[in-house]
Structure formats: C-alpha cells, structure tokens
Amino acid sequence: MQILGHAIEYLTVEFVNLDALISANSEQLDAVRLPMALNRQVYLECPELPSFGERWRALLDLLKPLFFAWRPTKSLLPPEEQKQP
C-alpha cells in the first residue's frame, strides 16, 4: 500500500505540473486513477485488526477456564485450613 501511495503521489504531482488543459478523459488522469483503484481494492480486502482491548479480553477469555478449574489439594493447604470430612 505504501508503494501504491507513493506512485499515486508521484503521478498526481506530474499531472498537476503538466500545465496542460485538464479534461476528465485524459490519459494522464487515467494513469492516476488506476493505482488509486488498486489501492482502494487492497485496502478493502485487508482484514480489520482487533483493538488492544479486544485482544486483551480474548486472552482473558482463554485463560479463564484455567483459573476457575484449578483447586488446591489438601496437601497444599496448612493443617488448620484443611477441611475435615
């Protein structure tokens, strides 16, 4: 996309500096429109990246079962906190 952007900028500057009559059907204008259309097509086909908050929530959702499924065994608890059956 960056290269297409530079090409569009270069062709636009060249087109403006021609000092010729500007018409809607000129070949120079078509030369600018082509990379612009390609740039738009590439932009619209790119997937949208999730925000930082969305990625953080997804990570927490993945880790949630690990935290809620873990239960300490009796051997890890001090004797006064162990439940007697």
Query: For the chain (length 85 residues), average pLDDT per consecutive 10?
Result: 84 78 73 88 88 92 78 62 63
Alpha carbons within 13 angstroms on the beta-carbon side of residue 31 total 12
pLDDT of residue 47: 87
Let me know: does 8 contact 29? Beta carbons within 8 Å. no
pLDDT at 58: 92
Domain residue ranges in the chain: 1-48
The per-residue pLDDT for 4 is 83
Q: How far is CA 68 from CA 39, 56, 57, in A?
A: 47, 18, 16
- Whole-structure pTM over 0.85, yes or no? no
Residue 56: per-residue pLDDT: 93
Whether the CB-CB separation of 39 and 4 falls below 8 Å is answered with yes
